[in-house]
Amino acid sequence: MTALGKLLRTTAFKLTLVYLTVFALFAAFLLAYFAWNTRRLITEQITQTVDAEITGLAEQYRQGGIRRLVFVVDARSRRPGSSLYLVTTRAGEGLAGNVGSLSTGILESAGWTETAYRRLDDPDGAEHHALVRVFQLPAGFRLLVGRDLEERERLHDIVLAAGRWSLAIVIVLGVAGGFFVTRRVLKRVDAMTETTRKIMDGDLAGRLPIAGTGDELDRLATNLNAMLERIEALMRGLKEVSDNIAHDLKTPLTRLRNRCEEALRLAEDESQYRAALESTIDESEALIRTFNALLMIARAESGQARDGMTEIDAAEIARGVGELYERLADDKGIHLKVEAPSAAPVHGNRELISQALANLVDNAIKYGSGINGADAEIIVTARGEGDRILLAVTDTGRGIPAADRGRAVERFVRLEQSRSQPGSGLGLSLASAVARLHGGELKLEDNHPGLKTVISLPRATPIPARLEALG
């Protein structure tokens, strides 16, 4: 396709033609109305003037008879201008005036008529057009008064000529402007198309160009760039997850195989085989927990869990999780306390929020032991703060250095101080994914001493308030 053909087929050029057509039709209608209204006003002015003259001449006839009327008409006929006068007898013979000839039958019909005529004072005898009125006088005399229409027609022609030129200029400028605008738009679209080709070829770092004008193309490019950044982050995360899975699962799978081979090679009785099988089952359960956590993270990040969201009480979830882990905390000598005095309504998935909070409590039990023999304490709170609901877990352990908190929420990341404890490094990652799914965030803060993890979620709008807003 040629460049011109490509230009003519663009939506921008077609829209320009549509707007140009609409504007041209409106301009033509406006000019036609102006020409028609001008013609009507001039005609009204002529009729008013002629009516006034006929009234005056009729009064002259009434006061002085035909002689006086002829005298007055003859005097007026000698004045230069476009006025027409004619006084005739019953038989149509002219007595006074400046009209040489009229179309046939004009004098026989009283009233207004547009007619062709010739003037007595015109040496060329050219034919003109006039608007005349014939008035019947007593004794059979007829009085004709009118105005030549040459000025009206000339003004009408001037308006039409101006209209034609205006339309021609509008069309030329409109088409030129259409080509200019379309070329600019097409240039930007071509640049976007070239970038998308590079992206489809695998260059996810490519971004659509932004002109900085803030128009709809800039807004589209901004949104697409944000989408591309999200896709690039997901692909990078997928690669990292794949690498981490391959790395972190290789060790337990190798242990499984080694134990099985060792049992086959060295076991001598049923008890040794049983011990090998129990060890293998424990290792398998740890692998299953790892895969379940990965699936839950993927479910949260993909947004599939939004279908099961309802209005729930986060305070009730906090009390339930606290009750679930209370015995485990007591066994480790940790005092676990829940502070959820009032309802904390959120709109979300109960299973995912419960699992996220349970992960935080589980981490606090593993790593939140008191420092230097101090009493260990974990506090689980659920409270409202403005338009947010905060689910927090605080401990009195060693905490996480500020420099490591960003890494701590990544998949399979286990900090140095946590490697002595069992785990997959997915607990905080799952909690962060669940918080983002619900429009919230996971924050890691100092507890002085220890760590404070906070899941901040939007407060659910009460149903009556939602109905009132919709109404």
DSSP per position, 338-357: EE--S--EEEE-HHHHHHHH
The CATH number that domain 218-302 falls under is 1.10.287.130
DSSP 417-435: GGTTS---S-HHHHHHHHH
Spatial distance between the Cα atoms of 288 and 266, rounded to a whole number of angstroms: 28
Which neighbouring-strand residues pair with 336?
378
d(CA 338, CA 329): 13
The per-residue pLDDT for range 423-457, each reduced to its tens digit, is: 566 778 888 888 888 888 999 988 888 889 999 99
DSSP tag of 140: G
Q: Which residue has the tokens 């790892």?
A: 290
Question: If residue 457 lies in a helix (H) or strand (E), which one and from where to where?
Answer: strand 451-458
pLDDT recorded at residue 239: 72
Residue limits of CATH 1.10.287.130 in the chain: 218-302
Beta carbons of 99 and 85 less than 8 angstroms apart? yes
pLDDT-derived band at 279 (thresholds 50, 70, 90) equals: confident
Dist. CA 20–CA 26, nearest whole Å: 10
Q: In terms of pLDDT, which residue wins out, 244 or 364?
A: 364
CA distances from 203 to 92, 178, 231, 253 (A): 99, 35, 12, 35
Query: Residue 2: its pLDDT value, please?
Result: 65
**Averaged pLDDT for residues 336-365:** 88
Percentage of the chain with pLDDT > 90? 9
Average pLDDT over residues 236-241: 69
Is the pLDDT at 466 greater than 80? The verdict is: no
Instruction: Tell me the whole-structure pTM to 2 decimals.
Output: 0.49
Phi and psi at 46, nearest 5°, equal -65, -45
Reported as a single tens digit per residue, the pLDDT across 250-265 is 667 777 788 788 777 7
d(CA 173, CA 20): 10
Greater model confidence, 235 or 390: 390
Secondary structure (DSSP) of 212-244: SS-SHHHHHHHHHHHHHHHHHHHHHHHHHHHHH
Is residue 321 within 8 Å of 357, Cβ to Cβ? Answer: yes
Distances (CA, A) of 369 to 151, 285, 381: 107, 26, 19
> pLDDT by residue (tens digit) across 184-237?
766 777 777 777 787 777 777 777 777 777 777 778 788 888 888 877 777 776
Of the candidates 38, 27, 43, 47, the one whose C-alpha atom is nearest the C-alpha of residue 155 is 38
Q: Give 385 or 232, the one with higher predicted confidence.
A: 385
| Lowest-confidence pick of 46-55, 83-92, 304-313 | 304-313
What is the residue whose two structure tokens read 């939004």? 306
Strand partners, 352: none
Residues 6 or more apart whose Cβ sits within 8 Å of residue 207: 195, 225, 228
* Cβ atoms of 339 and 432 closer than 8 Å: no
- According to DSSP, the residues that pair with 444 across neighbouring strands are 453
Across 34-38, 185-189, 299-303, least confident range: 299-303
> At residue 103, what is the residue type?
S
CA distance 437 to 431: 10
- What's the distance, Cα to Cα, between the start and end of the chain in Å? 54
- Burial per residue of 114-128, b for 16 or more beta-carbon CB atoms within 10 angstroms, e otherwise: ebebebeeeeeeeeb
Closest CA to 154 of 133, 129, 132: 129
Q: Is 167 left (phi over 0), alpha (psi -120 to 50) or beta?
A: alpha
Q: What does the pLDDT read at residue 471?
A: 47
Secondary element (H or E) of residue 318: helix 314-331
Q: Which of 76-80, 115-119, 207-211, 330-334 bottoms out in mean pLDDT, i.e. has the lowest?
A: 207-211
| Residue 2 C-alpha from the chain's centroid | 32
Contact 109, 142 (CB under 8 A): no
- All CATH 3.30.565.10 domain ranges in the chain, comma separated: 307-468
pLDDT (tens digit, 9 = 90+) per residue, 130-184?
A: 989 998 888 888 899 998 888 888 887 888 888 788 878 888 887 777 777 677 7
Using CA atoms of 202, 205, 209, 214 in order, give the dihedral in degrees to the nearest 10.
Answer: 120
Cα–Cα distance for residue pair 41/35, rounded to 1 Å: 10
Asked: is 307-468 a CATH 3.30.930.10 domain? The reply is no
The pLDDT score that the predictor gives to residue 294 is: 67
Reported residue count of the chain is: 471
State the Cα–Cα distance between residues 120 and 100, nearest whole angstrom: 5
Query: In the structure, what pLDDT confidence band is assigned to residue 470 with cuts at 50, 70 and 90?
Result: very low
Name the burial class of residue 78, with classes exposed (0-12), middle (13-18) and buried (19+) by CB atoms within 10 angstroms of its CB: exposed
**Cβ–Cβ < 8 Å for 241, 294:** yes
Query: What is the rounded average pLDDT for all residues in the chain?
Result: 79
